Amino acid sequence: MSRQGQDASDGQAFTDAELALQVVDRSPAAVIVQDARGRVVAVNRAAVQMLGGAVRLEPGARVGCGVLGCRSPGTRLDGVCVHELALARGEPLPPLRVELPAGAEFDVASATIVALPLGDGLVVTELRRDFGHAARERGGSPTWSAEPQLRVFVLGRTCVMNGDEVLDGRWINNRAGHILKLLVAERHRSVYSDEIISVLWPPDSSPDTRGVRYFVHELRDQLEPGGAADPPSSFVVATRGGYALDRQRVWVDADAFERLVTEGCAVAGADDERARALIRDGVAMYRGDFLADEPYAEWALPERDRLRDLAAGALRILAEIETRGGDLAGATATLTRLTELEPFDIDVHRELFALLLRRGRRSETLRRYETLRRRMLSTFDERLDFSLSQLS
């Protein structure tokens, strides 16, 4: 995202800051940095491609509120500026669905807004194509349906949205929220009431299905603050002996992630350009492990491990594509993320070290090698079976 937009040659030794700039500039997400007065400070290539036909993106232009619809009368942002909210909050706001202005690359985007902690009023807006409310031409899109729609983000910490409204509160971490998370973990089937009791209630308690019905009713009230017109619920449906999510009305980010990376991996080798775009969009949705706010929930482990393996496999294929195409900076960033996802995978670390040495980044390679060596000794009492000289 360098304002000069210069690419360094493969043999140049980059600083961490320079690598970060290159990674952001090559990101498939549109990134816009603005100051406290809403003026553009910097943009990356994807922002120019996505919005260049709709708004002015040169430094000093005021575009943020216009793109996001801040203070638009008759909307959920009536009288509200999300940039001001981000500056006051100090952490990323929940994803916001945005209808882009005419002339943009597509119609609907998902926006994440965060203030930089040391940025003296700088706010970063990241825009991605909204695969939960896909573009108009996408068949079966829920965006343009009159039916209620629920979006559940479970890659990372849980976030629930009804339309553009974030449904937060204590309930997410209480019994009603746990039922929702269990239904998401088992979203491909119905979950029996007795199973809900055995998983979520303490083993020394003696509840009956009436307790489950009570908390399901509370869950429905939380998901539909205005109340359903009449039973049954729009999102949580009763089945024979249990409950399930209505998959036609409930969108889950894990499904969109899986669909994108699976399709991308399937076309790798035959159409690397398409594969790269699909996988990058998919892994960008992997904000963290499945239900990261429930780290000790045993019932979440199978799905957590499955999605983590899927993300790791997609990152491996993406790194291969980027290396084949000569995008060594992109491959470095991808392998770095993979080592964070799989911190004890020696083969991945070895591949990253070899790539860093190929790019002349010896100091960084040595630091990473020493970190891995100490980690393996302290955790497994094992020594690395290779030296950096063997990779040169």
Mean pLDDT within 260-275:
94
What pLDDT score was predicted for residue 17? 64
Q: Report percent pLDDT > 70 for the chain.
A: 83
Least confident of 111-115, 323-327, 377-381: 111-115
Strongest mean pLDDT among 33-47, 106-120, 141-155: 33-47
198 and 51 within one domain: no
- Residues 71-96: what's their mean pLDDT? 71
Evaluate whether residue 2 is within a structural domain.
Answer: no
Choosing from 304, 329, 351, the residue where a domain stops is 304
Could you report the per-residue pLDDT of 160-179, keeping only the tens digit for each? 988 777 888 889 999 999 99
Residue 51 pLDDT > 70: yes
Q: Are residues 153 and 295 both part of a single domain?
A: yes
User: What is the pLDDT confidence band of residue 76, given thresholds at 50, 70 and 90?
Assistant: low
94/35 same-domain check: yes
Nearest 5°: phi and psi at 252? -120, 130
183 and 242 part of one domain: yes
Lowest-confidence region among 71-80, 240-249, 341-350: 71-80
In angstroms and rounded to an integer, the radius of gyration of the C-alpha atoms of the chain is 23
Q: What is the pLDDT of residue 369?
A: 92
Looking at 261, 279, 304, which one is the last position of a domain? 304
Domain count, the chain: 2
Which of 284, 259, 279 lies closest to 321 in space, CA to CA? 279
- Indicate if the pLDDT at residue 7 is higher than 60: no
Q: Determine the pLDDT at residue 134.
A: 37
Cα(391)–Cα(101) distance, rounded to whole angstroms?
A: 50
Q: What are the two backbone dihedrals, phi and then psi, of residue 42, each rounded to the nearest 5 degrees?
A: -160, 155
**Is residue 11 scored above 80 in pLDDT?**
no
Question: How much of the chain, in percent, has pLDDT values that exceed 90?
Answer: 45
Q: Please check whether residues 234 and 194 belong to one and the same domain.
A: yes
Average pLDDT over residues 126-135: 62
H-type alpha helices, 243-388: 253-267, 272-284, 301-324, 328-341, 346-358, 362-380
What's the mean pLDDT in 208-231?
Answer: 76
Question: Do 159 and 258 fall within a single domain?
Answer: yes
Cis omega before residue 232 (within 30°)?
A: yes
**CATH number for position 59:** 3.30.450.20
Q: Answer whether residue 144 shows pLDDT above 60.
A: no
249 shares a domain with 115:
no
* Residue range 314-319: mean pLDDT, rounded: 96
In a domain? residue 61 = yes
Pair (155, 262) in one structural domain: yes
Same domain, 91 and 154: no
- 43 lies in some domain: yes
State yes or no: pLDDT of 13 exceeds 90: no
* Burial (CB count within 10 angstroms: exposed 0-12, middle 13-18, buried 19+), residue 354: middle
Asked if residue 250 is part of any domain, the answer here is: yes
Dihedral sign from CA coordinates of 350, 295, 234, 160: negative
Q: Kindly state whether residues 166 and 24 are assigned to the same domain.
A: no
Domain range spanning residue 161? Answer: 146-304
Which of 103, 129, 155 corresponds to the end of one domain?
129
Q: Is the pTM of this model over 0.85?
A: no
Assess whether pLDDT exceeds 60 at residue 293: yes
The Cα 131–Cα 143 span in angstroms is 10
CATH number of the domain bearing residue 265: 1.10.10.10
Q: What is the mean pLDDT of the chain?
A: 82
* Residue 322, domain member (yes or no): no
Task: Kindly state whether residue 382 falls inside one of the protein's structural domains.
Answer: no
> Is the predicted pLDDT of residue 377 greater than 90, yes or no?
yes
Mean pLDDT of 228-246: 78
Asked whether residue 117 is assigned to any structural domain, the reply reads: yes
